[in-house]
Homo-oligomer: A and B are copies of this chain.
Amino acid sequence: MEDELKNINHKFVELFMQTFAFTEEEYALFLSYFTFKTVTKKDYYLRAGECCHSKAYLNKGCARNFVLDEQGHERILFFAFEDWWLGDFDSYYSGKPGTNYIQLLEDSELLVISKENFQKAEKEISKLTQWYSFKMRRSASASRNRIEEMKTLSAEERYLKLIENQPHIFQRIPLQHIASYLNIEPQSLSRMRNRLTNKH
């Protein structure tokens, strides 16, 4: 862990040191519960059927979170980039096997904390619970907004919104995965992009 400390994403440091006002001691204690892990492109952090016993801070790299439909097609629920947390939280809390796959799309760095260590940390650093309920609320809100978006926008509208709001995704994520995220086939995305450019 020692060597990697200097490489920790500044957003991680800022979040706990500034936003949640951890003391140096609390921060050091919190960090000591993590393990630093490098994973290569295409590795999985989690597969369906496994129990999720940890959460992981994505220090560097990006990942896709997907499930399989009844025909075995991969359906990407969302992408994760630097400063996101990885995990199947249904499985994490229920202790039961989950349905999510989480695959890294680049060589990446993770800060992994086990469920047990997180519980210990929560007992020792009371601010953590506060942070966590804040995060939970934000996550619930994001999911509700996503549902709203899926219900009110067409595939084309969602594509245009994605270009508008998260253009960086197109720099790092292959179009086939973006198609899956938009819930259409790669061929349909290709056809749609063609349609859109010929409009002008």
A binding-site residues for B, Cβ under 8 Å: 67-70, 75, 77, 89-90, 93, 99, 133, 136-137, 139-141, 143-148, 150-153, 157, 183
Contact = CB atoms under 8 A, between A and B. Distances in A.
A161 to B, nearest CB: 11
Given A133-B133, A147-B146, A147-B150, A141 B69 contact: no
Contacts of A70: 152-153, 157
Contact of A152 (B69, B144, B146, B153): B69
Contact of A90 (B75, B139, B145): B145
Contact of A150 (B133, B136, B150, B153): B150
Contact of A151 (B77, B93, B137, B143): B77
23 contacts: A67-B148, A67-B151, A67-B152, A68-B152, A69-B151, A75-B148, A75-B152, A77-B147, A77-B151, A89-B140, A90-B145, A93-B137, A99-B148, A133-B136, A136-B136, A136-B137, A136-B140, A140-B140, A143-B143, A143-B144, A143-B146, A146-B147, A150-B150
A88 to B, nearest CB: 9
Given A70-B153, A77-B151, A143-B144, 20 more contacts: A67-B151, A67-B152, A69-B151, A69-B152, A75-B148, A75-B152, A77-B144, A77-B148, A90-B144, A99-B148, A136-B136, A136-B137, A140-B140, A140-B143, A143-B143, A143-B147, A146-B147, A147-B147, A150-B151, A151-B183
